[in-house]
Structure 1
Amino acid sequence: MAFFNIAFSRTFAGHFSALRVAHWGEPQLPEGRPAIILANHPGWWDGVMFMLLMRRFFLERPGFTPMDAAALEKYPFMKRLGVFGVEQNSARGAVRFLQTAKQALEDPRHMLWMNAPGRFADARERPVPLAPGVTRLPEIAPDAVLVPLALEYVHWTEKRGEALLAFGTPLDARALLAEDRDTRTETIRAAMTETMDRLAQDAISRDAERFRIVLDGRAGMGGIYGAWQYIRAVMRGEAHDPRHDTRTQPGARQGEKRG
């Protein structure tokens, strides 16, 4: 995990300006209970985000992540990182997923990270799609909490994008068990929607003050023009700031967590 944290962090830094968590969306997990992180699924980067967030927010909690079995064969090293294969669009795959998830969540320290839609879905798609197995999770892990996680990838003022995230209010699995499956599905969907909508408003605001930087990326143009900017600043005796808009990072590193 430590090695791939470095590798994923470097990969992230090459493509994004920063990974930012909304101030209201810092995770609030109860101790002594397994946790199921239910994220939306806006893009390819989601799996990388899971690994980065595990190391920065939950260093003492082992994490497990389901992934399409065929896709996992392209990245076999991920099996050593807690990723397990799930056969898509089959009853056998659904049963196997629930069996593996149940085993993983028997330890109160463990976390299950998954994309709730079960497919790629735009962050603005409504109603928020949920894979059928999501509704069954409280049944196989009644002691767990289910935590919505909203993810967005946007471009503000820099060449590279911004990765934004926010955790929602945990849902108690036993309370969800008191509801029938249809009602339970809508309760989970409503929690996902609320978290995603609130993060969307922060993304639309383009206000960096609403976020804390979890991981720095790279700013500025880079390349030949970036090198010229640096040389020009040195020749003038000025501090070099490669950012296009210096307001995107106002004192945000304070309290930064590193894995």
Structure 2
Amino acid sequence: MSPVALRSERMMAFFQVAFTRTFQGSFTALRVAKWGLPQVPPGRPAIILMNHPGWWDGVLILLMMRRFFLDRPGFTPIDAAALEKYRFMKRLGVFGVEQGTPRGAVRFLNTAKQVLADPHHMLWMNAAGRFADVRERPVPLAPGVTRLAEIAPDALIIPQATEYLHWSEKRGEALIAFGPPLDARELLAMDRDARTEHIRAACTAVMDRLAEDAMSRDPQRFEVAVEGRKGMGGFYGTWQYARALLRGQRHDPRHETRGQTGA
């Protein structure tokens, strides 16, 4: 059955809330670079080409849909064998792809074409087709990425970068940024080799710029898309709270406050 027919808005809403809470328990924040807020004009289907640094990427897709694209149904390909272990995900717009076979590639392109026939739809996919470190260069691209403009000439193709790291808090930071949209019609005017390198360059540019912001360790360069938990938590966090209460002070759970450096 088509992923469009299987997708359930009620299931999406439930898991978006559930995964937001899961994320909040493990991260300080989901931050989007101020220069990298999504630019997705209405009236055309969109393809979000993501890098794929870690397990949390699937959770972030649901968080980004909820935060930025509530009015755009999203669909995501994953390995067909993995989807059979988590069949409920079919209700979340996820569809299976048989990895490493010509038949799997054809089925993916046919399903993606069906999804992108609706100008309101978005296709979220990892550009590499595998896990890849954010520092890997040249940025890997799966073979099917080049064909996307051919199956959806009306689409906008938007590179999106993700990094996971730790700054000064116990819990990590998830950083994201969206690049400027690429017009599929313009990509079609290029031969496939040139098209591949143009897409690679766009993905590389947004990943490199996000890396600069990550190295700055400056949260002011970002907007908070999802607020997580700060502070140590546990016994030490309780002791900090009690000490502040006894002193008549406002408890700030952050490890590093403005103007503070070191441990």
Q: Which range, TM-score by smaller chain?
A: over 0.9
SS in 2 for 1:162: strand
The equivalent of 1:116 in structure 2 is 127
1:168 maps to 2:167? no
1:71 maps to 2:73? no
The equivalent of 1:93 in structure 2 is 104
After superposition, the CA RMSD in angstroms is 0.9
Q: Show structure 1 runs of 5+ residues with no match.
A: 249-259
1:158 maps to 2:169? yes
CA distance in 1: counterparts of 2:86 and 2:165, whole angstroms: 26
The equivalent of 1:236 in structure 2 is 247
Q: Deviations over 1:204-225 (max 9, x none)?
A: 0001110000001111111111
Q: How does 1:6-85 map to 2 (within 5 A)?
A: 6-85=17-96
Q: How does 1:139-218 map to 2 (within 5 A)?
A: 139-218=150-229
8 Å CA contact retained: 1:118, 1:130: yes
SS in 2 for 1:150: strand
Q: Deviations over 1:125-152 (max 9, x none)?
A: 0000000000000000000000000000
Report the AA paired with residue 44 of structure 1: W
The equivalent of 1:257 in structure 2 is none
CA distance in 2: counterparts of 1:111 and 1:122, whole angstroms: 25
CA distance in 2: counterparts of 1:96 and 1:44, whole angstroms: 25
Segment of structure 1 superposing worse, 138-147 or 237-246:
237-246
Name the TM-score, length of structure 2 as normaliser. Answer: 0.93
1:103 maps to 2:144? no
CA distance in 1: counterparts of 2:14 and 2:42, whole angstroms: 27
8 Å CA contact retained: 1:39, 1:150: yes
CA distance in 1: counterparts of 2:13 and 2:46, whole angstroms: 22
The equivalent of 1:255 in structure 2 is none
Report the AA paired with residue 135 of structure 2: R
CA distance in 1: counterparts of 2:232 and 2:188, whole angstroms: 52
8 Å CA contact retained: 1:19, 1:216: yes
Report the AA paired with residue 41 of structure 1: H
Q: CA deviation at 1:247?
A: 3.6
Name the TM-score, length of structure 1 as normaliser. Answer: 0.94
The equivalent of 1:253 in structure 2 is none
CA distance in 2: counterparts of 1:84 and 1:25, whole angstroms: 28
CA distance in 2: counterparts of 1:161 and 1:65, whole angstroms: 25
The equivalent of 1:133 in structure 2 is 144
Q: Deviations over 1:148-169 (max 9, x none)?
A: 0000001000000000000001
8 Å CA contact retained: 1:208, 1:247: no
Report the AA paired with residue 146 of structure 1: I
SS in 1 for 2:30: strand
SS in 1 for 2:120: coil
8 Å CA contact retained: 1:116, 1:129: yes
Q: Deviations over 1:21-44 (max 9, x none)?
A: 000000011110000000000000
SS in 2 for 1:114: strand
Segment of structure 1 superposing worse, 91-100 or 228-237:
228-237
Q: Show structure 2 runs of 5+ residues with no match.
A: 1-11
CA distance in 1: counterparts of 2:177 and 2:238, whole angstroms: 35
